[in-house]
Chain A
Amino acid sequence: MRLSRTLKALGLTVATALAPLMASGAQAAGTMTVAVAIDPGSWDPIDTFLVDWSSAANNIYDGLTARGADMKLKPGLATSWEFLDNNSRIRFKLRENVKFHNGEPFNAQAVKFTFDRLLGAEGKKGPQQSNYNTIDHVEVVDDHTVDFVMKQPDPVLLTKLAGYGAMIVPPKYIQEKGDDHFNTHPVGTGPFKFVEYNPKVSLTLEANPEHWGGAPKLDKVVTRFISEANTQVAELQAGRIDVATLIPFGLAPTVEKSPNLDLISITGPTVVSLRLNTKEGITKDQNVRKALIMGIDRDAIIKAVLLGHAKPIASFQSELSFGHDPNLKPLPFDLAKAKQMLQQAKVPAGAPVKIDFRGNDATFREVAQAAAGFLQALGLKPSLQPYEPPVLLNDIIPNGKTGEAWHQAWGGWTFDYDNTAYLMYHTGEKWNPYDNDPKLNEMLEKQRTIYDVKERENLLQEIARYVADKALEIPLYNQNTIYGVNKRVKNFDAPADRRFRFTETSVD
């Protein structure tokens, strides 16, 4: 009796103490909160390559070109452009009457300053310069015209000007306040301006009503840094964040089942394959490689392991990628045919197939296990070798110490097949330890010089067909980009590359 009374009193006290907190889940009207995994530490465009940087900073800055959620290129701070002097010079007409958030005017000087900085000593210290070193320098023609003088042709340049290192920064502000200040107090021309940055916690932006693209509908965008996926989902379920960007496949059903949440699963940039060793082991034989592709049921893996959040691929690129060929189909799954091909190639039963993979990738571990199951059914002896990612990426692959197969996962924001193809198949590249194919080299080099869109696309598609025919890898799947979004969010135009632009987005 006494005990129960004490407990009741205790319960009441706790309830009273916590009552005022009940309301804390509700979000302020006009404010949208997005969770990303990593705090990039600096908001300067030339300091980072992190997608999480772009998820927030794509709202602060503009590039000369822009790319929306439909992945189509359109004018940004440049209203038009033309190729001159045999494509060695690109002339951009700049948008007029645009101001940076601090009131500084946007003009040709700002463009020149941005690229001098990116291509000079300051940019050398960061990871962005190497993406833009096909540009020799930028010349000011008049206040609203600039010329990009090219060192070598770069057909992907216009896309690359839409983001990351090419975002236009304010010259006076940086010169007066210094780089350190700019890192933590970014100023751009974008639809949202900087309010507050709390390292490792959050970044707050507010609407820039004078933006040339129209005033944003939201008042504020808060980006919170939450590196644990379970925590992002919990915050999403509790209604304290509106968009979660870190949702592993295993948690997708949780979001899907929540009545106040939407799961958005769209084609993303990341592709995954098992690259094959063409120098040693049974995979030296092209027909054996084809048999391995046909012996693994990739659709089953997508369904069972990735819960359907992926698509099969025929070449190492997303279907959004420039160079993707919808007519190129992957080799079909056919166990009987695969067995027969192995027999014809005189592969002994129990021949080893070692798969090297990144040990921290829990999803791929399951994929590799499933693939090993299929290889076993072919009468081979598969084994799995997990590695610490830096060891695999810096030693095992570049130094050619792999087993018969290894894990390749790649996603570039430019969505251009060149991004993967050149690095994966050209002789001497880090990710290509074994192959040396002069014909392939020639095609890879040639496509880098072609500005004609159709011609280049044809060549890229030819490269993809060539690689598929040589069976250099087992193409596995193109992983989806997954978002968890609160239903109160309206007009959330989900971008495949996670580079958000919240001009049209609003919250109830």
Chain B
Amino acid sequence: MAGFILKRLLQAIFVVLAVTLIVSFAVRLSGDPAIMLMGGGGNVTEEDLQNIRQALGLERPFFVQYFSFLQGIFVGDFGRSFMGGTPVSTLIAQALPSTLLLAFTSLLVSIALSVPLGVYAAVNRGRWPDQLIRILSLVGLSFPNFWLAIMMVLLFSIVLGILPPSGMEGPESFIMPALTMAIILTATNVRLVRTSMLETLSQQYIMVARSKGLADRVVLYKHALRNSAIPLVTYIGLQFGGLIGGIVIVERVFNWPGMGTLAFDAISGRDYPVLQGTITVLALFIVLINLLVDIAYGLIDPRIRTE
């Protein structure tokens, strides 16, 4: 098990390094932050721009900038925002918990919805509840998340006036963003649980369990669900990456003070340090989750550890 974890860990470090390099390079192709900072300002000369570039450390060669960024990462220093000079680590420390809280809430809601629905659909295979769940999941899959978000705001905030349209103020502000993310996740997860359950339910050991006279519920939840969980855990782990991607849009619509909003603003303002910092931290998280999935895999199915 230790060797297995070590191997995965080394792979993870390599991936994160590659991400930092690509991000630092790509962000510098996107335009000159000195000009963005000057914006519509009056009488800007090339000399003024040069002064700003120098103050921001942008006149140094790319690899010098990249290595000072890398050096900083190891001590948790991502530099300072070009806009206002706040340390990037401070901004991330404020934004990351909001995003993770939203991501995990969405994931939990989605699991809480998709597991019972998926099992129910599998048990009633071919009958109307199964059909209905499948149609609903198709509908859920077809919604773009920003559209769903705007429709929810329209219904709950403007027509009914019961939920705040944006911001992160109390538990009530989680309802719409988490639901937006969860509906889209659930749409795929329900299908996954259903298929996986159907496959397991047709196994001989389930027949054996049934013929032993075990109660339906025990067979379903103890024998079938645990064995169906492997693809589900993998999938949910992988989903986390997509979830973070989707969260950028959902955060923007709901003005959620998280990593997505931070990254989005950084892109529009060519705020290199903030963009590098947020993407590196998000990449770290995705890699970490994948690592945990691999390990969880080994825990659920002992055969994988020994491979």
Q: Which chain A residues have a beta carbon within 8 Å of chain B's beta carbons?
A: 18, 21-22, 24-25, 38-42, 47-50, 124-131, 133, 160, 180, 183-184, 198-201, 224-228, 230-231, 234-235, 237-238, 240, 388-391, 393-394, 410-412, 414, 419, 422-423, 430
Q: Beyond A42-B86, A201-B168, A231-B254, list 18 extra A-B contacts (CB 8 Å).
A: A22-B162, A42-B83, A48-B83, A125-B55, A129-B48, A130-B48, A131-B42, A131-B43, A183-B84, A199-B94, A200-B91, A200-B95, A200-B257, A227-B265, A230-B150, A231-B165, A390-B30, A412-B40
> Judging by beta carbons under 8 Å apart, are B45 and A394 in contact?
no
Known contacts being A22-B161, A199-B91, is A390 close to B261, with CB within 8 Å? no
Which residues from A are CB-within-8-Å of B42? 130-131, 160, 412, 414, 419
Which residues from B are CB-within-8-Å of A393? 35
> Judging by beta carbons under 8 Å apart, are B44 and A130 in contact?
yes
List 11 A-B pairs, Cβ < 8 Å.
A21-B162, A21-B164, A24-B169, A48-B83, A128-B41, A131-B41, A226-B166, A230-B150, A240-B165, A388-B31, A411-B40
Q: Among B41, B42, B158, find the residue whose CB has the most chain A CB atoms closer than 10 A.
A: B42
**How far is it, in angstroms, between the C-alpha of A127 and the C-alpha of B45 when the chains are bound?**
11
Residue of B35, B81, B167 touching A390 (CB-CB under 8 A): B35
Residue of A124, A198, A388 touching B51 (CB-CB under 8 A): A124
Q: Which chain B residues have a beta carbon within 8 Å of chain A's beta carbons?
A: 30-32, 35-45, 48, 51-52, 55, 81, 83-86, 90-91, 94-95, 150, 153-154, 157-158, 161-169, 172, 252-255, 257, 261-262, 264-265, 268-270
Least CB distance, A271 to chain B, in whole angstroms: 11
> Judging by beta carbons under 8 Å apart, are B86 and A49 in contact?
no
Which residues from B are CB-within-8-Å of A224? 167, 255
Known contacts being A25-B161, A200-B94, is A230 close to B253, with CB within 8 Å? yes
Closest 7 CB pairs of A and B: A41-B84, A390-B31, A42-B84, A125-B55, A234-B165, A41-B83, A130-B48
Known contacts being A231-B255, A412-B40, is A24 close to B265, with CB within 8 Å? no
Which residues from B are CB-within-8-Å of A129? 48, 51
Least CB distance, A71 to chain B, in whole angstroms: 17
Across the interface, name the chain A residue whose C-beta is closest to B90: A199
> Judging by beta carbons under 8 Å apart, are A48 and B84 in contact?
yes
Which residues from A are CB-within-8-Å of B37? 48-49, 126-127
Least CB distance, B48 to chain A, in whole angstroms: 4
Q: Among B43, B91, B154, find the residue whose CB has the most chain A CB atoms closer than 10 A.
A: B43
Which residues from B are CB-within-8-Å of A22? 161-162
Least CB distance, B250 to chain A, in whole angstroms: 11
Least CB distance, B281 to chain A, in whole angstroms: 16
**How far is it, in angstroms, between the C-alpha of A245 and the C-alpha of B142 when the chains are bound?**
33
Known contacts being A201-B257, A234-B153, is A49 close to B39, with CB within 8 Å? yes
Residue of B31, B81, B162, B252 touching A394 (CB-CB under 8 A): B31
**How far is it, in angstroms, between the C-alpha of A160 and the C-alpha of B41 when the chains are bound?**
11
Across the interface, name the chain B residue whose C-beta is closest to A254: B158
**How far is it, in angstroms, between the C-alpha of A152 and the C-alpha of B208 when the chains are bound?**
96
Which residues from A are CB-within-8-Å of B32? 390, 394
> Judging by beta carbons under 8 Å apart, are A231 and B253 in contact?
yes
> Judging by beta carbons under 8 Å apart, are B164 and A24 in contact?
yes
> Judging by beta carbons under 8 Å apart, are A227 and B255 in contact?
yes
Which residues from B are CB-within-8-Å of A226? 166, 255
Which residues from A are CB-within-8-Å of B55? 124-126
> Judging by beta carbons under 8 Å apart, are A40 and B39 in contact?
no
Across the interface, name the chain A residue whose C-beta is closest to B44: A130
Which residues from A are CB-within-8-Å of B40? 49, 410-412
Across the interface, name the chain B residue whose C-beta is closest to A124: B51
Which residues from B are CB-within-8-Å of A124? 51, 55
> Judging by beta carbons under 8 Å apart, are B165 and A235 in contact?
yes
> Judging by beta carbons under 8 Å apart, are A228 and B43 in contact?
no
> Judging by beta carbons under 8 Å apart, are A18 and B172 in contact?
yes
Which residues from B are CB-within-8-Å of A50? 39
Which residues from B are CB-within-8-Å of A423? 43
Which residues from A are CB-within-8-Å of B154? 234
Residue of A18, A47, A200, A227 touching B85 (CB-CB under 8 A): A47
**How far is it, in angstroms, between the C-alpha of A48 and the C-alpha of B33 when the chains are bound?**
13
Known contacts being A237-B158, A419-B42, is A180 close to B31, with CB within 8 Å? no
Least CB distance, A460 to chain B, in whole angstroms: 16
Which residues from B are CB-within-8-Å of A388? 30-31
Least CB distance, A169 to chain B, in whole angstroms: 16
Which residues from B are CB-within-8-Å of A21? 162-164, 172
**How far is it, in angstroms, between the C-alpha of A339 and the C-alpha of B167 when the chains are bound?**
55
> Judging by beta carbons under 8 Å apart, are A127 and B52 in contact?
yes
> Judging by beta carbons under 8 Å apart, are A39 and B52 in contact?
no
Which residues from B are CB-within-8-Å of A47? 84-85
Least CB distance, B305 to chain A, in whole angstroms: 43
Which residues from B are CB-within-8-Å of A40? 83-84
> Judging by beta carbons under 8 Å apart, are A234 and B166 in contact?
yes
Least CB distance, B150 to chain A, in whole angstroms: 6
Which residues from A are CB-within-8-Å of B150? 230
Across the interface, name the chain B residue whose C-beta is closest to A412: B40
> Judging by beta carbons under 8 Å apart, are A42 and B255 in contact?
no
**How far is it, in angstroms, between the C-alpha of A320 and the C-alpha of B192 when the chains are bound?**
62
**How far is it, in angstroms, between the C-alpha of A380 and the C-alpha of B153 when the chains are bound?**
46
Known contacts being A41-B85, A390-B270, is A18 close to B41, with CB within 8 Å? no
Across the interface, name the chain B residue whose C-beta is closest to A226: B255
Residue of B51, B86, B268 touching A41 (CB-CB under 8 A): B86
Which residues from B are CB-within-8-Å of A160? 42
Least CB distance, B24 to chain A, in whole angstroms: 17
Least CB distance, A44 to chain B, in whole angstroms: 8
Which residues from B are CB-within-8-Å of A184? 86
